[in-house]
Amino acid sequence: MTGDAFPRLGAWVKLPAPESVELLALAGFDFVVIDAEHGVIDTRTMSTMIGLARGCGVAPFVRVAGIAPRDVQVPLDAGAAGLFVPQIDDVAGARDAVGATRFPPLGRRGASNSGRAGRWGLDALGDYLRAGNDEVRLVVQAESVGALDAIVEIGEVAGIDAVFIGPTDLAVSGRFREGDDRLADLVVAAERRCADHHVTLGTTASGNASELLDRRGYDFLVLGADTAMLRQGAHALVSDVRTPRKAVGR
Ligand code: 3PY
Ligand code: MG
């Protein structure tokens, strides 16, 4: 676990286009999250994106679909700065995530310094192992009421760097309707407990980034996705031309 502050502003990459990473880096994001849970990104493309992100100075995280060796080994050996692991509901789940992604003694990740993470074999095995446990960040997603209740205990599991509240799955799994105050209260209580216990916390933002960072104690935010940026930008361009305007000055 690194002692450095978590990079602050990120974006999802859901399109299988390495150029998305380049565009987001040029926009000034601190990190990208290549989405292998909900995006259609194969491992070849993922590896290219990780290398490109590093070249562009933006930290490449990967959101994995699960913690099977096939899910975690490729992004880690390809040089991901960290992983987001979805749907971690309790301490046992958090320990499983650590077990799959950290080298012994913390976990049981398989070792090979022959990939980008080991600078293609240039790094000594010991340096590769140390970086895998000390520099690669493990973020677990809290996406259920149970996960919110146990958020501090989850965040304090050795080998976990941060917890990320996933508002969509949280609402869906808890069957909350949009705008339900009970959900908002649960989230605020979880935020306060994380602040009290210095658990590094992230979430998504939708127009409320300043409030989340300045008043609610979040350490990092994922501000949007390449898909949504394209959709919104395209929609705005077309509707700007097609929306009838009122005649002026007649
Ligand atoms: C969720 O909200 O469920 C996420 O995983 C992040 O958008
Ligand atoms: Mg989710």
pLDDT digits (tens, 9 = 90+) for 168-178: 999 999 999 98
Q: Cα(31)–Cα(29) distance, rounded to whole angstroms?
A: 6
- All residues with CB under 5 Å from ion ligand 2: 166, 169
Question: Which residues have a Cβ under 8 Å from the Cβ of 158 and sit 6 or more positions away?
Answer: 98, 106
Q: Are 33 and 220 in contact (CB under 8 A)?
A: no
Centre of ligand 2 from the C-alpha of residue 72, in Å: 17
Check pocket membership of 203 for ligand 1, CB cut-off 6 A.
no
The ligand that comes nearest to the alpha carbon of residue 35 is: 1
Residue nearest to atom 4 of ligand 1 (CA): 166
Residue 215: inside a domain: yes
Distances (CA, A) of 250 to 68, 232, 240, 246: 68, 33, 22, 10
**Residue 123 lies inside a defined structural domain of this protein:** yes
Q: What pLDDT is stored for residue 4 in this prediction?
A: 84
Task: Tell me if 124 is assigned to some domain.
Answer: yes
Among 45, 11, 12, which residue's Cα sits nearest to residue 28?
11
Cβ neighbour number for residue 135 with a 10 Å cutoff: 13
Q: Are 188 and 194 in contact (CB under 8 A)?
A: no
- In a domain? residue 178: yes
Task: Please indicate whether residue 167, judged by its CB atom, sits closer than 6 Å to ligand 1.
Answer: yes
166 ligand 1 Cβ < 6 A: yes
The protein residue with its alpha carbon nearest to ligand 1, atom 5, reads 166
Structural domain for 73, as ranges:
9-242
In this predicted structure, what is the pLDDT of residue 247? 63
Indicate whether 140 belongs to any domain: yes
Is the bond preceding residue 105 a cis peptide, omega within 30 degrees?
yes
Q: How far apart are CA 136 and CA 132, in angstroms?
A: 5
Question: Domain with 25 in it: what CATH number?
Answer: 3.20.20.60
Give pLDDT < 70 ranges for the chain.
Answer: 1-2, 246-250
Residues 6 or more apart from 205 whose CB is under 8 A from it?
212, 221, 222, 223
Neighbours of 116 (CB within 10 A): 15
Domain assignment present for residue 249? The answer is: no
Three-state DSSP class for residue 118: helix
Indicate the number of domains in the chain. Answer: 1
- Residues paired with 9 in a beta bridge: 221
Tell me the catalytic residues: 38
Residue 4, domain member (yes or no): no
Q: Is residue 250 part of a domain?
A: no
The pLDDT of residue 249 is 56
Tell which atom from ligand 1 comes closest to the C-alpha of 38: 5
